[in-house]
């Protein structure tokens, strides 16, 4: 079945800076503002002003992060056919799931390298209570939102926990302890089917052979984030979406191969090599 919907998010400050980032073309092929606080008509200046207002209203609370920045990233084959109404419905579901129902919000649709994904900028400040809406357990909330959207789109939901966490942790920790540089670590774990990527909520992610991403630090026994940062300092990593897309493409190519797996091909190659070497050895003995 097709992969599920990735939902990410974190609290932050700097509304105008976020607005500038969301409206900057950069590597995006297309940018479209979908909504600005439910207004029927709007322009980019109203979008910028609204996010700037979010930063102002945070000052009536004790929070220094008055904005919740959330991204919704369906699989490419689903995203490319979604209408504006469907994107806004996904935003509404995310708002409710995060506990921000009724809050002011603006949304922007990005297309990067052919992949479409939605950014939400949500005001955390409750203007009636003058308190910031809590964001505890947001990782679990992201998963639940992703599961609900997956049901709507007829997708297989992403697993809430890594079913192979024990084996993965043992393998990654072993390679980590046996290597001293980021480049060598990345090369060796890639041979075992893992990719390292930079994340949105977490700085370092590991993507397995099924296209699922997990927090790298949590899969390294007794290794702290500080140590990982130090080793990866200056290392350029692909982002999470790029890593997942790469793995998905490899899976697609594998599924197109007739009746035998890569492991079987590898074994057949090794057998051929073994027989060739055996024949060469026999010829040398006969001379």
CATH 3.30.930 residue ranges for the chain: 6-153
Helix, strand, coil percentages in the chain from 3-state DSSP, rounded to 5:
45, 20, 35
pLDDT given for residue 1 in this prediction:
41
**What gap in Å lies between CA 228 and CA 244, rounded to an integer?**
21
Task: Give the 3-state secondary structure of residue 139.
Answer: helix
Domain 6-153: which CATH class?
Answer: alpha beta
Instruction: List, for residues 172-188, the tens digit of each pLDDT value.
Output: 999 999 999 999 999 99
Average pLDDT along the chain: 84
pLDDT recorded at residue 193: 86
Answer for the pair 122, 95: CB distance below 8 angstroms, yes or no.
yes
* Pairing status of strand 125-126 against strand 105-112: unpaired
Low-confidence ranges of the chain (pLDDT < 50): 1, 252, 254-262, 265-266, 269, 273, 276-277, 280
């Amino acid at each position: 079945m097709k992969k599920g919907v990735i939902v990410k998010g974190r609290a932050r400050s700097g509304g105008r800076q976020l607005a500038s980032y969301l409206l900057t073309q950069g590597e995006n092929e297309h940018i479209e503002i979908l909504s600005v606080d439910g207004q029927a008509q709007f322009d980019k200046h109203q979008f910028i002003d609204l996010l700037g207002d979010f930063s102002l209203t945070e000052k009536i609370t004790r929070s220094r992060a008055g904005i919740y920045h959330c991204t919704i990233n369906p699989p490419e084959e689903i995203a490319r056919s979604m209408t504006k109404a469907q994107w806004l419905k996904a935003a509404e579901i995310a708002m409710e799931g995060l506990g921000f129902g009724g809050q002011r919000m603006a949304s922007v649709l990005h297309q990067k390298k052919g992949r479409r994904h939605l950014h939400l900028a949500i005001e955390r400040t409750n203007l009636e209570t003058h308190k910031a809406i809590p964001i505890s357990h947001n990782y679990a909330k992201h998963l639940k939102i992703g599961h609900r959207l997956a049901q709507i789109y007829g997708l297989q939901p992403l697993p809430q926990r890594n079913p192979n966490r024990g084996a993965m942790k043992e393998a990654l920790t072993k390679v980590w302890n046996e290597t001293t540089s980021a480049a060598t670590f990345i090369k060796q774990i890639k041979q075992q089917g893992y990719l390292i990527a930079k994340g949105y909520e977490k700085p370092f992610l590991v993507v397995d052979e099924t296209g699922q991403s997990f927090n790298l630090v949590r899969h390294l026994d007794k290794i702290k984030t500080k140590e990982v940062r130090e080793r990866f300092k200056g290392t350029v990593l692909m982002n999470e979406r790029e890593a997942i897309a790469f793995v998905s493409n490899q899976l697609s190519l594998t599924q197109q191969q007739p009746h035998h797996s890569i492991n079987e091909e590898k074994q057949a190659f090794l057998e051929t090599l073994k027989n060739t070497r055996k024949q060469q050895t026999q010829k040398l003995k006969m001379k």
